[in-house]
Amino acid sequence: MIRAAQVLNEYVGQNKAPAGAVAQIANGRVVACRVIGARRPNVPFAIDSKVRVASISKLITGFCIHKLALEGRLDIDTDCSEHLGFSLSNPNQPDLKITARMVLSHTSGIRDGDNYQGKLGETLQSFFIPTGVNWDNGAHWTRNSSAASNFSYSNLGYGVLAQIVENITRNRFDLAAKSLILDKVGIGGGFNWSGVDYDTVGQSSPLYRRQASSQEWRVQVDGNPQALSRPTHNSPNGAPLSEYVVGTNGLLFSPQGGLRASITDLLRVAEILLGRTSLFSASQIERMSAVVWENANSQSTGSEREVFQSFGSGIHRIHANAHGPIVGLKQNLIGHYGEAYGLLGGVWVSPENQAGFAWFINGSLDAPEAGLRSSLYAVEENMMQACSEDLGIV
């Protein structure tokens, strides 16, 4: 058994997660794909069981932007306002031009407040203007004088990117993501279950959490998605999706975290990052992942900024140095973490080595064990270390 599968097996066996999955690519080919545990009581987790993969979803949203740029339909270094339907401007820096590249790299000055939900009947603009219902006293804007270079990891910003996609394609984001990216590489998932058939949804797994003092796993999301319309959407007044006006609320289909995907789907994401699909060449991926922001503090601080060592244009980077979550890493990795509703996971590749891995667990303790080398959780560090050892990139 590969070491990563052993780590996962032990973790699930200790009831620290209901189930999990791991897959690896070496020399450009799949060498391992394993699942363990249950997706529901007494129902085994399967290779094709889909889960909400949290912020791994951001890679697909970023790919949509880059695909439109390659087609000449968007310049990621021009003002986002050209494709939003409203003027996007930080009130603390009104003369600053906010570009898609800045949003992709979390350097736009947009930050998360307490709420970044997309609701039918509301608009994305309402988060960014004082008269908007989601203004929250300007909580979604950085207040310092260096917003252009100040890193602030933002889920809300990916609603901006999704709205750009909608206004350029004149299609709902969930449908645009399928036609631009997912269908082209055989990813059978979709944002908020968009386009996923009834039977496949039935093979899915909820995400869970439990308290350390309890043996009961509590469903956090996707408890019974077959009973919902697909795509799912937040409609406080019960209005049908047909009432949505395309290009007005890029958050509606959860571009920041709402992709439902299986471990085999995440292998396709890894292949995109390795430049092994028709979507992007290796040189294009290299340009997309080139450093835009880098943490100047090289010491391990245990802070969120330490988790995010470096960002390209929508692609996270882990540097081969002594201060990351993987001991002895020989090459830089590109990819993205995922964490939400109990899911922990990630997709990471070494383009130089043509190697990579994807993994996730479908639930975790309310307070998982802390890591030793970073502000990640121990299971994240252990799975990433084990995968890297399996692949010989440490």
Domains, the chain, ordered by start: 3-49+262-390 (no CATH), 50-195+231-260 (3.40.710.10)
- How long is the chain? 394
Q: Which has the closest alpha carbon to 148: 110, 186, 122, 117?
A: 110
> Is pLDDT of 198 > 90?
yes
> Is pLDDT of 323 > 80?
no
Confidence of residue 307 (pLDDT cuts 50, 70, 90): confident
**The pLDDT of residue 297:** 65
**The pLDDT of residue 200:** 96
Give me the mean pLDDT over the 251-278 stretch: 98
Render pLDDT for 63-80 as a digit per residue (tens, 0 to 9): 999 999 999 999 999 999
**The pLDDT of residue 95:** 87
Q: Where are the alpha helices (DSSP H) in 96-220?
A: 100-104, 156-169, 173-177, 183-185, 198-202
Q: Which has the closest alpha carbon to 39: 262, 365, 366, 270?
A: 262
> Is pLDDT of 215 > 50?
yes
- Angle (CA) 266 269 274, round 5°: 130
Q: Which helix (H) or strand (E) holds 272?
A: helix 263-273
**The pLDDT of residue 144:** 67
Render pLDDT for 130-187 as a digit per residue (tens, 0 to 9): 999 999 999 999 876 554 557 899 999 999 999 999 999 999 999 999 999 999 999 9
**The pLDDT of residue 298:** 47
185-218 burial code (b ≥16 CB/10 A, e <16): bebbbbbbbbbbeeebbebbbbbbbbeeeeeebe
Of 94 and 72, the one with more pLDDT: 72
**The pLDDT of residue 334:** 98
Confidence of residue 1 (pLDDT cuts 50, 70, 90): low
pTM: 0.96
